[in-house]
């Protein structure tokens, strides 16, 4: 399956004191972005882009795509990634997930066909560890942007997302770093 992966780096990191989350060191010492690159390459995804523009990533050799439209949060980044993906599947990945394994990423790639495949944690979808079919999802995303309905949870519901079932240990892999306290003891 042809796929492009977008690592979402555009957030301001306000809960992290303005730090670029993807440049933080994951357990093992690599930055989270570099860790994602290793995971993606291990499952055969070589086309990786950064979604969103922050000065902290200016020296990265990865292609950077701007949100389209900008200033509306993650849906702008997802719309840009879906446009960039063309006919390939698009993996949307949060830059603040330092624990996701190659095995879980491979399961996401290999999941049965659906407009969107994503795990759920409780009642909520995980839209930034998800696989999207651009041809099916981009028109819905653009309609939602035009209507000012910017929540990714609503997009997944409207597009008919399929759930990627998680084992208990896999759910732990989706822990993210939203605050400084999250990084302690990891």
User: Is 186 part of a structural domain of the chain?
Assistant: no
Q: Which two tokens stand for residue 27?
A: 């357990």
Of 14-18, 26-30, 113-117, least confident by mean pLDDT is: 14-18
Of 57-61, 67-71, 114-118, least confident by mean pLDDT is: 57-61
**81-131 per-position pLDDT tens digit:** 999 999 999 999 998 899 999 999 999 999 999 999 999 988 999 999 999
User: What is the reported pTM?
Assistant: 0.90
User: Is 20 part of a structural domain of the chain?
Assistant: yes
Could you give the number of structural domains in the chain? 1
User: Is 23 part of a structural domain of the chain?
Assistant: yes
User: Is 31 part of a structural domain of the chain?
Assistant: yes
**38-50 per-position pLDDT tens digit:** 999 999 999 999 9
**Does the pLDDT value for residue 13 go beyond 60?**
no
What's the CA gap between 138 and 161, in Å, rounded? 13
Q: Is 71 left (phi over 0), alpha (psi -120 to 50) or beta?
A: left
Give the structural domain span for 74.
3-181
Which CATH number goes with the domain that contains 136? 3.90.550.10
User: Is 157 part of a structural domain of the chain?
Assistant: yes
User: Is 160 part of a structural domain of the chain?
Assistant: yes
* Residue 31 pLDDT class (50, 70, 90 cuts): confident
User: Is 123 part of a structural domain of the chain?
Assistant: yes
User: Is 129 part of a structural domain of the chain?
Assistant: yes
Q: What single string gives the DSSP state of each residue in 44-82?
A: T--EEEEES--GGGTT-SSEEE--SSTTS-HHHHHHHHH
């Amino acid at each position: 399956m042809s796929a492009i992966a977008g690592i979402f780096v555009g957030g301001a990191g306000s809960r992290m004191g303005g730090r670029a989350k993807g440049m933080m060191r994951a357990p093992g010492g690599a930055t989270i972005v570099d860790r994602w690159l290793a995971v993606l390459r291990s499952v055969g995804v070589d086309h990786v882009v950064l979604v969103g523009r922050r000065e902290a990533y200016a020296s990265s050799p990865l292609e950077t795509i701007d949100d389209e439209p900008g200033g509306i949060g993650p849906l702008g980044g997802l719309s840009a990634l879906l446009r960039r993906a063309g006919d390939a599947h698009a993996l949307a990945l949060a830059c603040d997930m330092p624990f996701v394994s190659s095995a879980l990423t491979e399961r996401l790639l290999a999941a049965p066909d659906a407009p969107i495949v994503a795990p759920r944690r409780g009642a909520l979808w995980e839209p930034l560890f998800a696989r999207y079919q651009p041809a099916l999802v981009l028109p819905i995303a653009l309609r939602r942007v035009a209507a000012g309905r910017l929540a990714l949870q609503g997009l997944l519901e409207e597009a008919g997302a399929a759930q990627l079932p998680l084992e208990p240990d896999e759910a732990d892999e989706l822990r993210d770093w939203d605050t400084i306290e999250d990084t302690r003891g990891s």
